[in-house]
């Protein structure tokens, strides 16, 4: 089992940001309204994610550390359901197999909670606790038991950039959730609970950024697209500031990307990319996620219809939103 978990870990956990992503998704799934994140040394030495979500009882807490013990996946069809995050209950066991890991959790309305500490996949401590309202997961000393994998990590500064990207994606995908973060080194900050999307986009990406955007919201062909796109002529030399979400989940999609890019062909200089935080809502039956654990790539059943919908929606916006 240990080896199996470590192999799974190899696929799921490339770097500290992969751990942060999984933990954030779990907290979001658990219905958290506030998530607190602490990291040290770019997450290599320490990542802690604490939420006020539903928590787990003792039995479920132990189950969550076993592979495929997910409560979320009932049939193969559910793979296409992006409304639910998570991948087959592999994340926690994988993380626990390559770190010194502590899960502390208490179910809502339960008088007591449990702390389970796992080192490299082995349970080393179980304790009763009280006064928690939700779940707190700590993953420290990443790859302490797999020294060769440590060598593939970049500097703490570079790993921190990846952590920050994950936080931004979570903050943009759920503007209603409050997020506090503290990186040591790297500074701290927060996004307030209950923000609307426009406020969240400005608070995450900056007022400057927001000034260069216009709002879009359009429905048709079984899709709804909404969010912020740059005004005609406004662009950046990199595509770093293009954020895509489907059913509230950060994803990659070639059609989504190309639909946007094509729409800017006549209003943006060559070599520049638009800024965007774009959200699509679609019936889960219309999409497939790659079955690989970390792939965030989404395929649409009607790939071309989707691309064309995005293209036309944005083109229409650009033609009316002259500077």
Binding site for Mg ion (CB under 5 A): 26, 86, 91
Q: Please report how close the Cβ of residue 19 comes to Mg ion at its closest, in angstroms.
A: 11
Rule CB under 6 A: choose which of 70, 102, 173, 230 binds ligand ADP.
70
Q: Please report how close the Cβ of residue 90 comes to Mg ion at its closest, in angstroms.
A: 8
| Only segment of 68-76, 177-185, 191-199, 211-219 that touches ligand ADP (CB under 6 A) | 68-76
Site string for ligand ADP, 7-46 (x = CB under 6 A): ---------------x---xx--x----------------
Q: Please report how close the Cβ of residue 35 comes to Mg ion at its closest, in angstroms.
A: 14
Under rule CB under 6 A, residue 133 binds ligand ADP: no
Rule CB under 6 A: choose which of 2, 7, 72, 123 binds ligand ADP.
72
Chain position carrying tokens 């973060």: 181
CA distance 18 to 275: 24
Residue 54 binding result from Mg ion, ligand ADP, none, given CB thresholds of 5 to 8 Å by partner type: ligand ADP
Quick one: tokens of 102?
A: 């502590």
Which residue's CB is nearer to ligand ADP, number 47 or number 92? 92
Please choose, from the candidates 19, 11, 191, the residue with its C-alpha nearest in 3D space to the C-alpha of residue 92: 19
Quick one: tokens of 309?
A: 């919908």
Residue nearest ligand ADP (C-beta atom): 86
Quick one: tokens of 190?
A: 């927060």
Q: Please report how close the Cβ of residue 302 comes to ligand ADP at its closest, in angstroms.
A: 27
Write down the H helix ranges in the chain: 2-12, 16-29, 58-63, 91-97, 147-150, 156-173, 197-205, 207-211, 254-263, 303-320
Rule CB under 6 A: choose which of 18, 34, 39, 135 binds ligand ADP.
135
What φ, ψ does residue 95 adopt, rounded to 5°? -60, -45
Is the Cβ–Cβ distance between 37 and 28 less than 8 Å? no
Q: What is the 8-class DSSP label of residue 236?
A: B
Question: What's the Rg (C-alpha) of the chain?
Answer: 20
Q: Please report how close the Cβ of residue 228 comes to Mg ion at its closest, in angstroms.
A: 28
Q: What is the 8-class DSSP label of residue 11?
A: H
Q: Please report how close the Cβ of residue 23 comes to Mg ion at its closest, in angstroms.
A: 8
Contact partners, residue 154, CB within 8 Å, separation at least 6: 15, 42
Q: Please report how close the Cβ of residue 310 comes to ligand ADP at its closest, in angstroms.
A: 29
Which residue's CB is nearer to ligand ADP, number 84 or number 140? 84
Residues 85-114 that bind ligand ADP (CB under 6 A): 86-92
Q: What separation in angstroms does the CA of 183 have from each of 3, 114, 153?
A: 31, 27, 18
Which residues contact ligand ADP (rule: CB under 6 A)? Answer: 22, 26-27, 30, 51, 53-56, 64, 70-72, 86-92, 135
């Amino acid at each position: 089992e240990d080896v199996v978990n470590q192999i799974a870990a190899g696929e799921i956990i490339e770097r500290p940001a992969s751990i942060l992503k999984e933990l954030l998704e779990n907290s979001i799934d658990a219905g958290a309204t506030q998530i607190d994140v602490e990291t040290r040394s770019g997450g290599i030495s320490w990542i802690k994610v604490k939420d006020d979500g539903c928590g787990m009882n003792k039995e479920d807490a132990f189950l969550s550390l076993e592979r495929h013990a997910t409560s979320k996946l009932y049939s193969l069809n559910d793979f296409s359901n992006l409304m639910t995050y998570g991948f087959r209950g592999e994340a926690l066991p994988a993380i626990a197999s390559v770190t010194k890991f502590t899960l502390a959790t208490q179910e809502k309305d339960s008088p007591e909670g449990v702390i389970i500490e796992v080192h490299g996949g082995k349970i080393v401590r179980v304790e009763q606790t009280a006064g928690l309202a939700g779940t707190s997961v700590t993953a420290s000393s990443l790859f302490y038991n797999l020294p060769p994998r440590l060598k593939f990590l970049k500097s703490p500064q570079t790993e921190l950039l990846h952590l920050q990207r994950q936080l931004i994606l979570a903050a943009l995908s759920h503007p209603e959730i409050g997020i506090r973060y503290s990186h040591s080194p790297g500074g701290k900050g927060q996004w307030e609970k209950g923000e609307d999307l426009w406020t969240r986009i400005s608070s995450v990406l900056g007022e400057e950024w927001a000034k260069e955007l216009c709002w879009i919201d359009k429905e048709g062909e079984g899709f709804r697209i909404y969010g912020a796109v740059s005004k005609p002529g406004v662009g950046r030399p990199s595509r770093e500031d293009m954020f895509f979400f489907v059913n509230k989940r950060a994803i990659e999609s070639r059609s989504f990307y190309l639909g946007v890019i094509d729409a800017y062909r006549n209003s943006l200089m060559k070599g520049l990319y638009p800024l965007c935080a774009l959200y699509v809502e679609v019936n889960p039956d219309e999409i497939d996620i790659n079955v690989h654990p970390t792939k965030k790539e989404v395929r649409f059943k009607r790939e071309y219809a989707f691309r064309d919908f995005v293209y036309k929606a944005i083109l229409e916006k650009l033609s009316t939103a002259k500077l």
